[in-house]
């Protein structure tokens, strides 16, 4: 228990000393050790990579899932390490509505049969979209997210540790400078006015204490410098790994573009096929009309109504599609 209290008190003291050093640096009252230019460039490059990766990731998520509520739901499932439930795409839902409507209107009617045709192709478009979303999430979004939640957190942790080591180093430099000034001041004006042995002993003891303070401060500075250099090297190695991150993200970007091209090519193919089928269906009503309006071999003439018609006055008839009229 006593050990934990001492450790807590020591940690609080270190934190306070660092806070004082940081504040004095901001106010221009203390010197600050600058990092070497190469390390500074690596830090700037890493920050730029992190910021743009976040923006690209967020906007890609918006592109793939425009619904903000759905994105929040997927985010919660991801944080809970649960499988995201399968969601019907808008095109698939539209296609299903068209198929259900065709059943109500009658699949044998021109409108019903066209609804079936268009609905089937909408479902195909939705399937292509679903495959594109899954591929993009796996090959593009996941690697970007892994970098932000994995590598970048490690880099940030080591950078914070480097900043603490830098503050400790500057604290030791300031402490050594202060000790040397005190030693020099004491050596410049020794108190030997009185020749009594007691005063001489006290003055010598004070000089020895100041010398010990300088030696202690120099030792602490050497230790702080070693720890700072070691942490700077660790941070540098991690930051140089950003080049590998760029290569990995480049491959992921190429995979995303390929998946997007495949998706749009499928959509173009489906729409071309749909247009061809609709053009072939448009010929059928006119051919049926010619056949169904011909005079029968025997009996009265008949005609089939092609479209619904509401009478505008008493001299007209209201008609329904597919209704057969017979001449009396």
Distance from C-alpha of 58 to C-alpha of 125, rounded to nearest angstrom = 25
Q: Which two tokens stand for residue 117?
A: 């045709």
pLDDT at 302 over 80: no
Residues with Cβ < 8 Å from 94, sequence gap 6 or more? 119, 122, 126
Distance from C-alpha of 102 to C-alpha of 97, rounded to nearest angstrom = 9
With contact defined as beta carbons under 8 Å apart, do 285 and 306 qualify?
yes
Q: pTM (2 decimals)?
A: 0.72
Distance from C-alpha of 39 to C-alpha of 231, rounded to nearest angstrom = 12
Give residue 238's pLDDT.
Answer: 97
User: What ranges in 80-139 are assigned the alpha helix state H?
Assistant: 90-105, 110-136
Q: Which fold has domain 13-291?
A: Substrate Binding Domain Of Dnak; Chain:A; Domain 2 (1.20.1270)
Kindly report the number of other CB atoms within 10 A of residue 72's CB atom: 10
Q: pLDDT band for 66, please (50, 70, 90 cuts).
A: confident
Q: What percent of the chain has pLDDT over 90?
A: 51
Exposure letters 236-272 (e unless 16+ CB within 10 A, then b)? bebbeebeebeeebeebeebbeebeeebeebbeebee
pLDDT at 262 over 70: yes
Kindly state the average pLDDT of the residues 210-228.
87
Kindly report the number of other CB atoms within 10 A of residue 176's CB atom: 20
pLDDT at 293 over 50: no
The label of the residue with tokens 């056949």 reads 291
Give residue 180's pLDDT.
Answer: 79
- The whole-angstrom distance between residue 8's C-alpha and the CA centroid of its chain comes to 37
Identify each DSSP E strand in the chain by its residue range. Answer: 302-304, 324-326
Q: What is the per-residue pLDDT across 101-148, written as a single tens digit (0 to 9) for each?
A: 999 999 889 999 999 999 999 999 999 999 999 999 999 999 999 999
Residue spans of the domains in the chain: they are: 13-291, 293-328
With contact defined as beta carbons under 8 Å apart, do 318 and 106 qualify?
no
């Amino acid at each position: 228990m006593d050990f934990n209290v001492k450790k807590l008190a020591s940690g609080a003291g270190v934190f306070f000393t660092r806070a004082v050093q940081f504040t004095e640096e901001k106010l221009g009252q203390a010197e600050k050790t600058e990092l070497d230019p190469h390390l500074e460039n690596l830090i700037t490059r890493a920050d730029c990579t992190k910021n743009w990766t976040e923006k690209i990731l967020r906007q890609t998520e918006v592109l793939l899932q425009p619904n903000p509520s759905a994105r929040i739901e997927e985010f919660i499932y991801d944080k809970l390490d649960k499988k995201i439930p399968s969601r019907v795409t808008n095109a698939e839902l539209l296609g299903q509505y068209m198929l259900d409507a065709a059943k109500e209107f009658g699949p044998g009617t021109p409108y019903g049969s066209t609804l079936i045709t268009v609905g089937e192709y909408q479902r195909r478009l939705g399937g292509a979209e679903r495959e594109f979303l899954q591929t993009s999430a796996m090959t593009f979004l996941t690697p970007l997210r892994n970098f932000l939640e994995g590598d970048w957190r490690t880099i940030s942790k080591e950078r914070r540790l480097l900043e603490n080591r830098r503050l400790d180093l500057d604290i030791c430099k300031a402490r050594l400078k202060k000790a040397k000034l005190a030693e020099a001041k004491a050596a410049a004006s020794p108190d030997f006015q009185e020749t009594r042995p007691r005063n001489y002993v006290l003055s010598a003891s004070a000089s020895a204490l100041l010398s010990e303070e300088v030696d202690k401060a120099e030792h602490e500075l050497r230790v702080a410098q070693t720890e700072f250099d070691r942490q700077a090297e660790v941070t540098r190695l991690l930051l140089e790994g950003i080049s590998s991150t760029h290569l990995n993200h480049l491959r992921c970007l190429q995979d995303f573009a390929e998946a997007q091209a495949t998706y749009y090519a499928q959509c173009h193919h489906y729409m071309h096929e749909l247009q061809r089928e609709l053009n072939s269906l448009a010929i059928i009503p006119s051919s049926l009309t010619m056949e169904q309006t011909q005079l029968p071999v025997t009996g009265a003439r008949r005609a089939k109504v092609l479209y619904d018609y509401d009478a505008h006055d008493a001299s007209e008839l209201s008609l329904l599609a597919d209704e057969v009229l017979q001449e009396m």
